Amino acid sequence: MSDPTYTPPKVWTWDAESGGAWAKINRPVAGATHDKDLPRGAHPLQLYSLGTPNGQKVTIMLEELLAAGKTGAEYDAWLISIGDGDQFSSGFVSINPNSKIPALLDCSGPTPIRVFESGAILMHLAEKFGLFLPTEPGARAECLSWLMWQMSTAPVIGGGFGHFYFYAPEKYEYPINRYAMEAKRIIDVADRRLAETPYLAGEDYTIADIAAWPWLARLATGDAYGDAATFLDMARYRNLARWADQIGQRKAVQRGVRVNRTGEGFVAEHHSAADIDAVLPA
């Protein structure tokens, strides 16, 4: 591990200790590790998640829908502790074979519909309730383009930059250089776009912003990966900071970020608006 160079063997084999902070949960195979059903609440939408940026996308969207008066968006949100391997239970794998939060079960029709991948969940909810995804073809294409852009950038920022800069047990210059460069390029894409338009897809707040905000705002505010904001010189991205601040002031966003997290000011599970009301600052 301390040798900075490495010659790959002919056939890769799994070293269970090589994953740093995630060594306990990462495995090179898919599928369930244990039998356990998921809990089911009374609301039409059942969310199985954790309040990471990918999880927050969905709880922000649900809170936005409720704020817009869509009572059909009432939801139960259950905590999936990925550090404890809950994503590998038979129940979770049956709704997301990829074993990653967030996963949604839409029980509002005669047959429950499973939806996994945060982008697919945002699209499902936007189409179901007719909000935050424009219907005019040009505007819709722009929104989906920025949504898919976000989905493709998260692994670079999190799995690439965040992993090697912050989580990796030893710091190596090559991967940190590579992913810092890519992360800054991605951030600059957003900053330049937000110099042209108030929101990523144009004049209106859409699921593209809801997907991107939890990732980019925490970088902009210095709330991610130790001192990454200084390392990436986030202060120079003024348009991104304006957008991050503006969206961060939305009530639904302030509610959504509190769900499926433990500790003061957060709710591990959500079953009614009162759960969040009880932890909001007075």
Binding residues for ligand GSH, total number by CB under 6 A: 11
Cβ closest to ligand GSH, residue 34 vs residue 192: 34
Told to check if 118 binds ligand GSH by CB under 6 A, we report: yes
Told to check if 212 binds ligand GSH by CB under 6 A, we report: no
Cβ closest to ligand GSH, residue 22 vs residue 174: 22
Interface with ligand GSH (CB under 6 A), residue from 61, 73, 82, 115? 82
Cβ closest to ligand GSH, residue 100 vs residue 124: 100
What's the min distance (Å) between Cβ of 39 and ligand GSH? Answer: 18
Interface with ligand GSH (CB under 6 A), residue from 46, 54, 56, 89? 54
Cβ closest to ligand GSH, residue 118 vs residue 241: 118
Interface with ligand GSH (CB under 6 A), residue from 46, 56, 59, 87? 87
Told to check if 100 binds ligand GSH by CB under 6 A, we report: yes
Cβ closest to ligand GSH, residue 260 vs residue 267: 260
What's the min distance (Å) between Cβ of 277 and ligand GSH? Answer: 26
Cβ closest to ligand GSH, residue 34 vs residue 236: 34
Spatial neighbors of 15 by CB under 8 A, at least 6 apart, are none
Q: Which stretch binds ligand GSH (CB under 6 A): 13-21, 97-105, 165-173, 174-182?
A: 97-105
DSSP string, the chain: ---S-----SS----TTTTGGGTTT--S--S-SB--PPP--SSSEEEEE-SSHHHHHHHHHHHHHHHTT-GGG-EEEEE--GGGTGGGBHHHHHH-TT--S-EEEE-SSSS-EEEESHHHHHHHHHHHHT-SS--SHHHHHHHHHHHHHHHHHHIIIIIIIIIIIIISSS--HHHHHHHHHHHHHHHHHHHHHHHH-SBTTBSS--HHHHHHHHHHHHHHTT-STTTHHHHTTGGG-HHHHHHHHHHHT-HHHHHHTTBT--STT-BSSBSSHHHHHTTS--
Cβ closest to ligand GSH, residue 59 vs residue 87: 87
Told to check if 52 binds ligand GSH by CB under 6 A, we report: yes
- b/e map 106-134, b = 16+ CB within 10 Å: bbeeeeeeebbbbbebbbbbbebbebbbb
Cβ closest to ligand GSH, residue 46 vs residue 99: 99
Would you call 174 exposed, middle or buried from its count of C-beta atoms within 10 A (0-12, 13-18, 19+)?
Answer: exposed
What's the min distance (Å) between Cβ of 134 and ligand GSH? Answer: 22
Told to check if 46 binds ligand GSH by CB under 6 A, we report: no
What's the min distance (Å) between Cβ of 73 and ligand GSH? Answer: 19
Q: Give contact residues for ligand GSH (rule: CB under 6 A).
A: 25, 52, 54, 82, 87, 99-102, 117-118
